[in-house]
Amino acid sequence: MENAEIPAYLLAIRERLTNNLSAFLHEQDLASDQNVSVSKLQKDFAHYFGLNFQDFQTETKMQAAAKLLTESRQSIKRISRNLGYNSPEAFSRAFRKFKGKTPSLYRKNH
């Protein structure tokens, strides 16, 4: 979907999510910042992005993780910390759920 079709407030939220990968942002806070209700944010996220807010945030982090795993020599611990995970184990579980492989296996195969 072209950006011109997506409401400006969703573009602002998407940019904030993309530029703040080290934090887990809350939809209530972002909705409030954009002067929309949480229910409108949830409905519009699903409509325009095909994902709920939390899945979108996780997918954004996992895409960044996949890129870092293949294009950098950063440790998995450091990548997990930079993406806002409290532990490499929590990051590994999320990554495996998203990519079907552990971060180390993904790095090895790519």
* Burial class of residue 72 (count of CB atoms within 10 Å of its CB; 0-12, 13-18, 19+): exposed
pTM (2 decimals)? Answer: 0.88
Domain count, the chain: 1
CATH code, domain carrying 94? 1.10.10.60
Rounded distance between C-alpha atoms, residue 82 and residue 78, angstroms: 6
Instruction: Compute how many other C-beta atoms are within 10 angstroms of the C-beta atom of residue 36.
Output: 17
Binning pLDDT at 50, 70 and 90, where does residue 2 land? low
Tell me the per-residue pLDDT of 28-72, one tens digit each, with 9 for 90 and over: 999 999 999 999 999 999 999 999 999 999 999 999 999 999 999
Instruction: Compute how many other C-beta atoms are within 10 angstroms of the C-beta atom of residue 65.
Output: 24
Domain range enclosing 44? 3-109
Rounded distance between C-alpha atoms, residue 79 and residue 50, angstroms: 27
